[in-house]
Amino acid sequence: ASALFTLLAPYLPELEEIPALSCLERGVSLSHAEVNPHVEWGVPGRKGEQIAAFVAAVEEYNAPLLEWCGGKGHLGRRLAAERQQAVVTLEWNAQLCEAGRQLAARTRMEQHFSPVDVLHAEVDHYLAGHHVVALHACGELHRHLVRRAVALHVPALDVAPCCYYHGAPEAYQPFNQQLQLMLSRDDLRLTVTETVTAAPREVALRDREMAWKLGFIPGDCGQFCRLLAQREGVRLPGEVAWQEYEAYGWQRQRETMRLSLVRQAFRRALELWLVLDMATFLEQSSYEVALTTFCPRHVTPRNILLSARRSL
């Protein structure tokens, strides 16, 4: 990231302020009890690191625990083990709920699963009076949680947002209507255009897939364009200067790649803007809010923790 800002500084000197403005303090990792390794059955390695760091960063609160969109309940199971506290896990996929029940029974954790589509079903009776945790609830899932939490005066909330574009309308609607920045759903995709957690094998597979696709495309630029025109139902003129269009295409490709560097410089700042929008909405609704990071970027770049406690 620092190399990118150094590269762009001669052209956009104002960007030099972004790294400092986008920096969040690392949250305090709380001491935690040793956990039976069986609690981590079925948890992929990097996901296990993320869960352990998230749990260590979440302060205890005197309220029942609810895991929002928990999948197999790996986070809830870890919390139940460390805090010696019952956990309710909400997850829309009934198969994941059943797998989670089996894992909880295997480790003798008091964890209860409810197959609930949180965006379309009645969830208020689950949320009311609970300390709600959500690790990487995507897009509208974490936004809906924040709205319902405010409406119900949920006492405590710890959320690590993710995939901000999921479920967003084409024209994004911020929580605070006085904000003037206009964002599209495509703009929100910029916040997650990173591959820092991709394993070397995943990167190699991606590159191989791209190479195979390019190898499948036959012939020269003209043949490729005719193939696309046929697929899209576009009628081409009889005579086309394909070499000129190919040269123009390469020029556009280079311009696009350079422009993408500028976009990347705003990635973290845009992500923080979205999280701060939620944070100020919570503050205006009688919550005390803290924004920290719960783990290093190499564990997950989606490492922002939004913690909210309702003021009494």
Q: What is the pLDDT of residues 221-280, one digit of tens each?
A: 888 888 889 899 999 888 888 888 888 888 988 888 788 888 888 899 999 999 999 999
Q: What is the pLDDT of residue 211?
A: 64
Return d(Cα 70, Cα 27) in angstroms, integer.
Answer: 22
Q: CB under 8 Å, gap of 24 or more: what pairs does 266-269 form?
A: 266/18, 266/190, 267/190, 267/191, 267/193, 267/194, 268/1, 268/18, 268/22, 269/18, 269/21, 269/22
Return d(Cα 103, Cα 120) in angstroms, integer.
Answer: 27
Q: Which domains does the chain have, with CATH numbers?
A: 2-198+266-310 (3.40.50.150), 201-263 (no CATH)
Contact yes or no for 47/74 (Cβ under 8 A): yes
The three-state secondary structure class of 235 is coil
Contact yes or no for 51/75 (Cβ under 8 A): yes
pLDDT tens-digit readout, 174-210: 999 899 899 999 999 998 876 555 566 766 776 666 6
The three-state secondary structure class of 122 is coil
Length of the chain measured in residues: 312
Q: Helices marked H in the chain — which ranges?
A: 2-8, 18-21, 45-57, 74-83, 94-107, 124-127, 140-152, 185-189, 200-216, 221-232, 242-265, 267-283
pTM: 0.82
